[in-house]
């Protein structure tokens, strides 16, 4: 029998893809508004730390010469469509799953680079970007589990699949708390 973590992959892809697509779409709209009017304050600019505007104006926000959220629109559309196709009962070939693995691996590396830039170089957080971070990690993790689930060394990891995500997200939360501790302690 296929493990639960593997059976859930299609739902993670569908729901995660939809959430990531929505966040990427909103970020793209906000970026367009900012490009039209440089004094525009994005809806996700809430305080000095949660400030999309300060991030959108950096070179990191356009690493490949165009706004990063455009990558999310394309990538999350593929992820969401894959979830729908698999839920409909289709069996995708191994090469497709390996391609999704490569794309989600590049995505998870990219969002970790963006996390580092946000926390330690730019000094601000974007709530929509953090949603993209969380979704990208889940998509990567469950795609990896799906692709490796037949290996005997992976059985223990599959059994505790959610624990890995909890630890991963907790580490990011600790990094966020640490990076902005001087601000967070003023709120208490």
Instruction: Give 126-142 pLDDT, tens digit per residue.
Output: 999 999 999 999 999 99
Question: How many domains are there within the chain?
Answer: 1
- In whole angstroms, what is the distance from residue 131 CA to residue 7 CA? 23
Residues listed for the chain: 188
Mean pLDDT of the chain: 92
Is 112 within 8 Å of 94 (Cβ atoms)? no
Instruction: For residue 166, give the CATH number of its domain.
Output: 1.20.1440.130
Share of the chain above pLDDT 70, in %: 97
Distance CA 171, CA 167 (A): 6
Q: For helices 9-36 and 69-87, what crossing angle results, to 10°?
A: 150
DSSP-assigned letters across all residues of the chain: ---HHHHTHHHHHHHHHHHHHHHHHHHHHHHHHHHH-TT---TT--SSSB-HHHHHTSGGGGTTSS-THHHHHHHHHHHHHHHHHHHTT----HHHHHHHHHHHHHHHHHHHHHHHIIIIII--B-HHHHHHHHHHHHHHHHHHHHHHTTSGGGHHHHHTHHHHHHHHHHHHHHHHHHHTHHHHGGG-
pTM assigned to the model:
0.92
The region of weakest confidence among 4-8, 104-108, 118-122 is 4-8
Domain of residue 33, residue span: 4-187
Does the structure show a pLDDT above 80 at 144?
Answer: yes
Q: How confident is the model at residue 90 (pLDDT cuts 50, 70, 90)?
A: very high
Residue 13 has pLDDT above 70, yes or no: yes
Question: d(Cα 31, Cα 162) in Å, to the nearest integer?
Answer: 34
């Amino acid at each position: 029998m296929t493990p639960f973590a593997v059976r859930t992959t299609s739902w993670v892809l569908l729901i995660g893809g939809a959430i990531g697509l929505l966040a990427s779409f909103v970020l793209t709209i906000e970026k367009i508004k900012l490009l039209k009017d440089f004094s525009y304050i994005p809806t996700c600019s809430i305080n000095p730390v949660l400030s999309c505007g300060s991030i959108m104006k950096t070179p990191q926000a356009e690493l490949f010469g165009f706004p990063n959220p455009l990558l999310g629109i394309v990538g999350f559309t593929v992820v969401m469509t894959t979830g729908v196709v698999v839920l409909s009962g289709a069996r995708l070939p191994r090469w497709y799953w390996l391609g999704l693995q490569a794309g989600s691996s590049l995505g998870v590396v990219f969002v970790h680079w963006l996390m580092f830039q946000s926390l330690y170089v730019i000094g601000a957080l974007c709530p929509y970007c953090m949603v993209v971070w969380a979704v990208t990690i889940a998509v990567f993790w469950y795609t990896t589990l799906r692709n490796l689930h037949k290996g005997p060394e992976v059985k223990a990891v599959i059994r505790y699949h959610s624990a890995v995500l909890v630890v991963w997200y907790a580490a990011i939360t600790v990094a966020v708390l640490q990076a902005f501790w001087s601000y967070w302690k003023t709120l208490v």
